[in-house]
């Protein structure tokens, strides 16, 4: 989404103590939000995802926001963050970090998701955590932290499980 106002400086002055980010966001009087939206036939706009949070898997662009919405529908999932984990082929695989209730089973989550979401969006990796890493000031999930950690020893891998079954 790209926006502007008729009155100069009425929208915002830029990012606090981040001049480089401000220059990237403000171009030719337009503010580039970094958010992806879609518009329906009636002209309504709908948030899709943060552009930097989109996942590219096997030629498909996947909204982490959409993946998260499907995952939190599972009755044992309390919270979720979806990120792309880089592969040797240059694309990404979907990893979901989840905060769950007792009795959670990653295989049952995948079985729950498969009939509900497009096949290319189904997560390969599931990582159960006590809590998601969050920014101290806004409490937003620090997805870069999850990307940087990648697949850990406690991460469940759908493809590795299928290979042993």
**Are both 107 and 159 inside the same structural domain?**
yes
CATH code, domain carrying 34: 2.30.38.10
**Phi then psi dihedrals of residue 88, to 5 deg:** -65, -20
Per-residue confidence in pLDDT tens, the chain, 165 aa: 888 888 877 888 788 888 888 888 888 888 877 777 778 899 998 766 566 677 888 888 888 888 999 999 999 999 999 999 988 888 899 999 999 999 999 999 999 999 999 999 999 999 999 999 998 887 888 888 999 999 999 999 998 876 665
**Are both 36 and 99 inside the same structural domain?**
no
pTM > 0.75: no
Res 15: pLDDT: 81
In contact, 18 and 29? CB cutoff 8 Å: no
Res 94: pLDDT: 95
CATH code, domain carrying 153: 3.30.300.30
Total number of domains in the chain: 2
**Are both 101 and 160 inside the same structural domain?**
yes
Beta-strand ranges (E) seen in the chain are: 2-3, 26-27, 30-32, 35-39, 45-50, 55-57, 60-62, 77-86, 92-100, 125-128, 156-157
* Structural domain boundaries, residue 68: 53-164
Res 99: pLDDT: 97
**Are both 6 and 19 inside the same structural domain?**
yes
């Amino acid at each position: 989404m790209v926006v502007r106002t008729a009155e100069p400086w009425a929208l915002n002055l830029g990012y606090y103590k981040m001049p480089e980010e401000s220059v990237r966001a403000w171009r030719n009087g337009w503010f580039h939000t970094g958010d992806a939206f879609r518009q329906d036939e009636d002209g309504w706009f709908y948030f899709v995802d943060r552009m930097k949070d989109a996942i590219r898997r096997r030629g498909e662009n996947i909204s982490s926001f959409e993946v998260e919405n499907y995952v939190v529908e599972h009755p044992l999932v309390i919270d979720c963050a979806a990120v792309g984990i880089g592969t040797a082929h240059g694309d990404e695989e979907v990893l979901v970090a989840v905060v769950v209730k007792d009795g959670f089973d990653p295989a049952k989550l995948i079985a729950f998701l498969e009939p509900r979401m497009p096949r290319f969006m189904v997560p390969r990796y599931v990582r159960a955590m006590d809590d998601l890493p969050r920014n101290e000031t806004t409490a937003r999930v620090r997805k870069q932290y999850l990307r940087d950690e990648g697949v850990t020893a406690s991460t469940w891998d759908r493809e590795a499980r299928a290979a042993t079954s």
